[in-house]
Structure 1
Amino acid sequence: MAEVSPRLQERPNDAVTAAPILQGYIYPPSASSKYFFTSAFSQTRARRGGWGGGRPGERSGEEQEFGDRHAPEAAAATRGSARAPEPKHASRGGTPGQCACARSGGAEAPVRAKGDTVAERARRGGGRWLTRSGMEHLERCEWLLRGTLVRAAVRRYLPWALVASMLAGSLLKELSPLPESYLSNKRNVLNMYFVKVAWAWTFCLLLPFIALTNYHLTGKAGLVLRRLSTLLVGTAIWYICTSIFSNIEHYTGSCYQSPALEGVRKEHQSKQQCHQEGGFWHGFDISGHSFLLTFCALMIVEEMSVLHEVKTDRSHCLHTAITTLVVALGILTFIWVLMFLCTAVYFHNLSQKVFGTLFGLLSWYGTYGFWYPKAFSPGLPPQSCSLNLKQDSYKK
């Protein structure tokens, strides 16, 4: 056991001071004992006017060594014990959540609880909050499009609406042409990146939509492949009709020196040669836009009728995929209808648009209205009320 200082032996009444010093010599001081030692020394100094009972400001060797070693901890402990705990909420006056120090003009501001802000909640959830919010907006759009495009009335009256808008736009163009706008420019974004490749957009979005919805309802891969053959039929119709239009324009046209159809260039016998030499080819140009936009819009509406039977679990990945495809197809359909109206108002003459729209309507009715209901065909979109197909619930 360590020896006690002679000065401490001469003052047996200082038990409060001697006990912690002995503990400090025998055992390594812990965090709590450091604060106890310094508090005891402070009390002794305040009572006797100095350190160790000598002259004010005089300290023994042991006290000098101990005080120098633990002075920073003593100062921190004194500051911590001197500050009263602040109330979490105000007892009277001020607003809830405002601490007393903030009301009294103190330097310390109230501490915000962790996770109070939207950014902290999103960061703590790893972005799940934003994903969930985006999915809610997507489902709202999908619900709106279901109520607009999936109705039987839309499939029944959309062909007549397209014919009426084409006739009205053509008459407006002939009688009172509209002023030029962004959509009247052939190089606008919708025309360059959507209408020019309208069948590619329709094909790429209908391919996964038909595959997912038909397999979800039937569970038969063979029937899904049979239904996907509608896209091959549509590709054949698109290729054949556009080739017919090109040949009609070729055999009915001539090359001119100016857009005013002056000065025929008989040496150029094809549209390609005429354009390469700086000429202008003029023939009976059936509106390919009117044909293709009519056919694509009606085909998408026909295939989306399957949504009457599709019921998916929101937690399943299939629900997200189908919802996204429905929104994309719905937006694409509105683009096709909008650009069909622009074609009717700004481009081609009445006869060219009439023939183009007529080809589109005949292609739609010849497939979905006449051929597909028959046995040897790709078939119509599955409907439980007519085909009595077994529905797969995807509960796995």
Structure 2
Amino acid sequence: MERIDRWARSARSCLVRSSVRRAMPWGLLLLTLGGSLVKEWAPLPESYFSNKRNLLNIYFVKLAWGWTLWLLLPFISITNYYVTRNTLAVLRRITSLLVGTVVWYACTMVFLHIEDLTSSCYKSPTLDVLHRQHLSRLQCQQAGGFWHGFDISGHSFLLSYCALMIVEEMAVMHNLNTSRNPRLHMVLNCLFLALSCFKMIWLFMFVTTAVYFHNFSQKLFGTLVGLLAWYGTYRVWYLTPFSPGLPPQNVSLSSQKPKRSL
């Protein structure tokens, strides 16, 4: 327990600062630019992570929204209830996850639609001979062709959006003191560390996407959509009364009486 507490304190000192939240969107853009430059001008040798079948991609990135949702749901519920002691306020904040789910699904569908609109079927990966008679992805693949078009990077979108959401929701930990409630303290520390680990995984896989996959414009569009989704919610809509609202911030509970254990 002491080791977990020590790790959580170290992670708090690095990850919940307002400066981190301000810098992260620019950092994601720079990672996209830098990774794309590496891919075009100084390609890295093939590695385990240049293979789409790597374990992090299969079991984590492809399920990134599910993992993020699964961890943020209890984290938001517990921290917001501890701060507000108001069930309705907690339910209101949880709707931010519903908003995120709608954003993720809608953007994914739009990306697929754009790819279909801009794609053609080719006979080989060299993209030199068209299969003009095959006008859909399914027909093309059944004929052994290669369906190619403007494939906006879903990884760049989803990983940037998930990482930004996690950073925003973890901000509540900045001044939250639960040391007088050992069980709650342990639960929140474990959830916080799990979210911190997933944030690192999302950022690492975001970088591998930048240096190994897609072209610059596809990654840039994906990243910009992720940033726009974050900005439109946490920086615009969530500041208004009729919204899920922002996580409780700048609230110090160290002087409060101990709360009843969970």
Note the alpha carbon deviations across 1:164-187, whole angstroms, 9 max, x for none.
111011011111111111111100
**1:155 & 1:299 partners in 2: Cα distance?**
10
Question: 2:191: which partner in 1?
Answer: 325
Q: Distance in 2 between matches of 1:249 and 1:242?
A: 11
Q: CA deviation at 1:270?
A: 1.5
For the residue of structure 1 that corresponds to 2:150, the secondary structure is coil
In structure 2, the partner of 1:312 is: 178
Which amino acid letter does the alignment assign opposite residue 394 of structure 1?
A: K
Matched, 1:380 2:243: no
| C-alpha separation in 2, matches of 1:270 and 1:392 | 64
- Pick one of 194, 198, 202 that aligns with 2:68: 202
Letter in 1 for 2:213: F
Three-state SS of the structure 1 residue aligned to 2:147 is strand
SS in 2 for 1:250: helix
Counterparts of 2:164 and 2:250, CA distance in 1? 22
Residues 343-362 of structure 1, C-alpha deviations (whole Å, 9 max, x = no match): 11000001101100100000
CA contact (8 A) 2:181 2:260 kept: no
Q: Kindly state the Cα deviation for residue 315 of structure 1 after the two structures are TM-superposed.
A: 5.2
Counterparts of 2:31 and 2:175, CA distance in 1: 32
Aligned to 1:75: none
Residue 268 of structure 1 deviates from its aligned partner by 1.9
Secondary structure in structure 2 of the residue aligned to 1:372: helix
1:370 aligns to 2:242 (yes or no)? no
Kept in 2: contact 1:218–1:392 (CA 8 A)? no
Provide the rounded CA distance (Å) in 2 between the counterparts of 1:285 and 1:158.
Answer: 25
- Per the TM alignment, residue 139 of structure 1 is displaced from its structure 2 partner at its CA by 1.6
Report the 3-state secondary structure (helix = DSSP H, G, I; strand = E; otherwise coil) of the residue aligned with 2:71: helix
Q: CA deviation at 1:321?
A: 1.1
TM superposition score normalised by structure 1: 0.63
List gaps (5 residues or longer) in structure 1: 1-134
Please point out which of 62, 77, 83 is paired with 1:211. 77
Which residue is 1:265 aligned to?
Answer: 131
TM-superposed CA distance for 1:319, in Å, is 1.3
Residue-by-residue CA offset, 1:53-109 (whole Å, 9 max, x unaligned) = xxxxxxxxxxxxxxxxxxxxxxxxxxxxxxxxxxxxxxxxxxxxxxxxxxxxxxxxx
Per the TM alignment, residue 314 of structure 1 is displaced from its structure 2 partner at its CA by: 5.5
Residue 188 (structure 1) aligned with residue 54 (structure 2): yes
- Which whole-Å CA distance do the structure 2 matches of 1:288 and 1:395 have between them? 44
Alignment partner of 1:343 is 2:180? no
- Match in the other structure for 1:137: 3
Query: What is the CA-CA distance between 1:273 and the residue it aligns to?
Result: 2.6
Which residue number in structure 2 is paired with residue 172 of structure 1?
Answer: 38
Change beyond 3 A, Cα 1:170–1:309:
same
- After superposition, give the CA deviation of every residue in 1:192-222 in whole Å (9 maximum; x if it has no partner): 1111111000000000000000001110000
Aligned to 1:354: 220
Matches within 5 A, 1:1-396: 135-313=1-179, 316-384=182-250, 393-395=258-260
What TM-score, normalized to structure 2?
Answer: 0.95
Cα drift, residue 316 of structure 1: 2.9
Distance 2:185 2:73 in 1: 17
Deviations 1:9-29 (A, max 9, x none): xxxxxxxxxxxxxxxxxxxxx
Identical residues among aligned pairs (%): 58
Highest Rg: 1 or 2? 1
Offset of residue 392 of structure 1: 7.3
RMSD value, Cα: 1.8
The whole-number CA distance in structure 2 between the counterparts of 1:272 and 1:145 is 47
Secondary structure of the residue aligned to 1:161 is helix
Structure 2 unaligned regions, length at least 5? none
Q: Find the aligned partners of 1:309 and 1:296 in 2 and give their Cα distance.
A: 23
**Offset of 1:138 from its aligned partner?**
1.6
Q: Which amino acid aligns with 2:84?
A: T
In the alignment, the residues of structure 2 paired with residue 305 and residue 322 of structure 1 have an alpha-carbon distance, to the nearest angstrom, of: 13
Q: CA deviation at 1:384?
A: 4.7
Q: Greater RCO between the two (CA within 8 Å, min separation 6)?
A: 2
Relative to its length, the structure with more helix (as a share) is: 2
Moved runs in structure 1, 4+ residues, more than 4 A?
Answer: none
